[in-house]
Structure 1
Amino acid sequence: MSIPETLRKYFSQHSRVFKRRTSLLLACSGGPDSVALVYGLKEIEPTLTFRIHLGHVNHGLRKKESEKDAKFVRSLAKKMDWPVHLEKIKIRTKDAGNLEEKARLKRYEILTQMAKKHKCGAILTGHNRDDQVETILMNLSRGSGGQGLRGMLPLREMAHRLFLARPLLNISKKEIARYLGEKRASYRVDKTNDNQHFLRNWFRRTLIPLWESRCFHLVDGIMDVGQILQEEEKVWNQLTKSFVKKVSTPYRTGHVLDSQKMLRYPLAIQRRVLREMAGSDLLTFKTIERLRGWMISPPANGRIFQLRRGWIVERLSKSKGAPSSHHYWFYRKDSKRTEKENTR
C-alpha cells in the first residue's frame, strides 16, 4: 500500500479522533521519515478536514548541521504553504548513554507546548515499521513486559485532548526511500544515525541485519507480536483499572493502596496494579519487585520508597489517618508541595 493510501486508511480508521480536530502538528526533523509524511499528507490534503502545521525542535547537538536542518524545514513548510514553528533548545549532558533519551523527552515537551499554543489536536510523527521493530527488541533487552513488547501505539492520548499519532508504523524504510525517490524529494541526513555508540543504531546496523540473515521472517514475526500484545494490553488495561479501584482510594493529591487487599490477587495482577498506581513508564520489573518486597516488610524498614520523576510511596501510620501500616500513599513530590501551598 502506498504512503498516501496508508494515510487515507489511517485517518479513516481513527476518524472519531481526527474529525474533531481543525489543526495537526507534524513533527518534522527534516529526515526522510518525516519528509515522506509531509509529501504524503500534501498528496491527500484536498480530502483532509484539518490544517497541517510543521513543528521542528533544534537541539543544537550537531551545531551547523542542526541549523541547516531548521532552515530546510522552514523552506519545506514554505513550499507546502503550511505554517511552521521552530524552537531551539540546549541539551546539556556529559552522559552520552542518556543523550538520545534526554533529547527525545525535551523534544516531546516542546512539541506539546507548540501543539497547545497553536491549538493542534494531535502531534504526527514519521515513526515507521523499522523503528517499531527496533523499539520492541530494545524493550525486550530491558526485560519489558507486555506494555513494552507491544511497541509504539499508532495513536495514544498524550495529554487532555492531545494525541500522538504515528500513521506510518506499517511502512518500511525501503518503502519510504522509494516514495521519496518517486517524488524527487530532498531531505536531510543525520550522520549520527551511523554512530553505533548509541544502542538503537547498533540494533539497526548490526544486530537486526545479522539476525535477519538467519531468520528471514524476523521483522514480520516481531510486528505480529506487537499487534497481538497491543490488543491484549487493551483488555489488561481495563481489568487493571477495575482492580486498582478495589484496592485503593483517593487521598489528598494521590491515592492510598491497601496492600493486604492487593496481596489477595495473583502476582501478575499485583504487578499491574503497582504499574498503574505509579505510572507504567516509571517502573522496571526489578523496581516493582523491590517495591513489593518493601511493602510486605516490617515498618522498621523505612517509611519512604523513592521512585523516578518525583514519585513517592509513603508508608502511612495510624497517626495519619490510616487504619493500619498496610496502607501506602502514592503521590508526586511536587503535588504534595502544591497541596501545602493551597492550605496556607
Structure 2
Amino acid sequence: MQTYFNQILSKKINPSKTNNLLVAISGGQDSLSLIKILGQFEKKNNIQNIEYIYIDHQWKQKSKQQTIHLINYLTMNKKIFIYQIEDNCFKEKIARLNRYQILVEHAIKNDYQFIITGHTQTDRIETFLYKLIRGTSLDGATSLTLHRKINNNLSLFRPLLYINRYYINWFCRKFCLPIWSDQTNHNLSIDRNRMRKELIPYIQKYFNIKMEIHLAQFLDICNEENEYIKQNTIKLYIKSRHPFLIALNYKQIQKQHTILQKRIIQLFIFHNYNILLTNKCIKNIISIIDSNAIFTKLNYKNLKIMINNCWIYII
C-alpha cells in the first residue's frame, strides 16, 4: 500500500519543489493510516512542510481526550492545528460544510498548496449511495474525486480514494496504530452510519459481495464521461456568451443536445450570479427557446431572466 500511495502522491506532489501540505485528520483508522503513510513519504522525499489540522465539533463527552490522543500520537515534531466548533450543530450536512469552510479558509490564509484528506473507496461508495437515494445528478454522484482544484493555488487531494476500508483496517492492525473508537460511528440514527452498518452489508450479502468494486468501476466511468461533458459545456459557453455583456446567445446552443443546453444555461447563471437554477426552471427556459418566443420574462428568486432576440440575459 505504501508503494501505491507513493506513486499516487508523486503524480501530484513534486518533492523537488516546495509543497505546503495540510492534512485533515481525525482519530479514526483512515486518518491514522494517512498519517503513517505520509510519514514514510515525508522521510523518503525529505519533505519538511507537512502540517495537520483537526476539527472538533465537541459532540462527544470524550472530545477532549480524543484531541489529546491525536496530539500524543503525532509527537512533538509534527505541527497540528486544532479548531473547536462551539455551536453544537448535530446535522451531518451542516457539520461537513463547516469543516470544509474551515479547511479551505485555513489553507488559503496559510498559503498551503494541497489539502489532503483520508477519504477511502468505501467513503466514495457511501457518498454515492447516499446522494443517489436522496436524488442527485451526474455531478453530484461523482463529486468525490481523487483530485480537485479549489483555486489556482490550492487543490484538494484524496490519495486513499481507491483503497477500501478493509485494507485500511488491515494496515492499521499490521502497524498497531492506536485507532480512537468514535462512539458516534455506532449511532444508527445518523443516516450514513445506518447505510454503513446495515444497508451496504445487506446488499453485499444478498445481492453482490463485490458491490463496492463494481460501483467504484461504475463511478470511474461516470467521472470520465462527466469530465467530457464538462469540457464541452465550457467550450460552448465561451463560444455563445456575449463578448462584453452578461448575456448568452441561445441560437448558438439551440441545436445542441438537451444535456449540454441545460449545463450551459446553468453555468451562465452560476458563473455570473453564483446561483444554481432548479431543473424545472432550466426546462422552462429551454421550452421557451424551442418555441421561438420573441420576448419572455421569467422570475427566479431575485433574478429576472429575459429571453429576447436570441439572447438570454438578466435585468
Q: How high is the TM-score relative to the length of structure 2?
A: 0.86
Q: Which residue of 2 aligns with 1:305?
A: 300
Instruction: Report the AA paired with residue 300 of structure 2.
Output: F
* Pair 1:118–1:78, CA change in 2 (3 A): farther
Partner SS for 2:132:
helix
Change (3 A) 1:109 1:21: farther
In structure 2, what residue type is equivalent to 1:290? C
Equivalent residue letter for 1:238: Q
The answer on whether the counterparts of 2:297 and 2:306 sit within 8 Å (CA) in structure 1 is no
Rounded to whole Å, the distance in 2 between the matches of 1:169 and 1:314 is 42
Q: How far off is 1:156 after superposition?
A: 0.6
Cα distance in structure 1, aligned partners of 2:25 and 2:243: 40
| 3-state DSSP of counterpart to 1:249 | coil
Compare 48-57 and 255-264 and name the one that shifted more.
255-264
1:188 aligns to 2:180 (yes or no): yes
Distance 1:100 1:146 in 2: 22
Matches within 5 A, 1:104-143: 104-143=96-135
Provide structure 2 residue ranges, at least 5 long, that are not aligned to the other structure.
Answer: none
Look up the match of 1:329.
Answer: 314
Q: Which residue does 1:70 correspond to in 2?
A: 67
Cα drift, residue 55 of structure 1: 0.5
Work out the CA distance in 2 between the residues paired with 1:279 and 1:37: 35
In the TM superposition, what is the alpha-carbon distance from 1:113 to its structure 2 partner? 2.2
Are 1:27 and 2:24 an aligned pair?
yes
In the alignment, which residue of structure 2 is the partner of 1:82? 78
Secondary structure of 1:189 counterpart: coil
- Measure, in 2, the Cα distance between the counterparts of 1:314 and 1:188: 53
Deviations 1:101-135 (A, max 9, x none): 11111111111222223322111111011101111
Q: CA deviation at 1:327?
A: 2.0
| 8 Å contact from structure 1 (residues 259, 295) kept in 2 | no
SS at match of 2:242: strand
Aligned to 1:233: 226
Instruction: Tell whether 2:305 aligns with 1:315.
Output: yes
2:211 paired residue number: 218
Q: Report deviation, 1:10.
A: 0.7
Give 1:340's aligned residue. none
* Whole-angstrom distance in 1 between the partners of 2:114 and 2:126: 24
What SS class does the counterpart of residue 328 from structure 1 fall into?
A: strand
Post-superposition CA distance 1:183-239 (Å, at most 9, x none): 111122221122222222222111111111121221111000111122222222211
Q: Which runs of 4+ in 1 moved over 6 A?
A: 298-302
Q: CA deviation at 1:65?
A: 2.1
Contact in 2 for aligned 1:26/1:123 (Cα 8 Å): yes
Q: Which residue of 1 aligns with 2:50?
A: 52
Count residues in correspondence.
307
Paired with 1:15 and 1:78, the residues of 2 have a C-alpha distance of 24
**How far apart are residue 14 of structure 1 and its match?**
2.2
Per the TM alignment, residue 240 of structure 1 is displaced from its structure 2 partner at its CA by 0.7
Judged with a 3 Å threshold, the aligned counterparts in structure 2 of structure 1 residues 251 and 295 are, in CA distance, closer, same or farther, namely farther
Query: In the alignment, is the contact (CA less than 8 A) between 2:294 and 2:309 conserved in 1?
Result: no
Equivalent in the alignment of 1:333 = none
> Cα offset for 1:325?
8.7
The offset of 1:250, in angstroms, is: 6.5
Shift of the 178–242 alpha-carbon distance from structure 1 to 2, 3 Å rule, reads same
- For 1:35 and 1:278, how far apart are their aligned partners in 2? 42
Residues 29 and 56 in structure 1, CA contact (< 8 A), matched pair in contact too: yes
CA distance in 1, matches of 2:211, 2:201: 10
- Would you say 1:200 and 2:197 are equivalent positions? no
Partner of 1:7: 5
Residues in 2 aligned to 1:314 and 1:251: alpha-carbon distance in whole angstroms: 20
Q: How has the CA–CA distance of structure 1 residues 249 and 60 changed in structure 2, closer, same or farther, with 3 Å as cutoff? A: farther
CA offsets per residue over residues 226-269 of structure 1, 9 Å max, x none?
111222222222111011113323667xx433445443322111
Structure-1 residue corresponding to 2:34: 37
Unaligned runs of 5+ residues in structure 1 are: 307-311, 318-322, 331-344
Is 2:275 the partner of 1:277?
A: no
Match of 1:163 among 128, 133, 155: 155
Amino acid at match of 2:223: Q
- C-alpha RMSD of matched pairs (Å): 2.9
What TM-score do the two structures reach when normalised by structure 1?
A: 0.79
Superposition deviation, residue 282 in structure 1:
6.7
Contact 2:261 2:286 survives alignment (8 Å): no
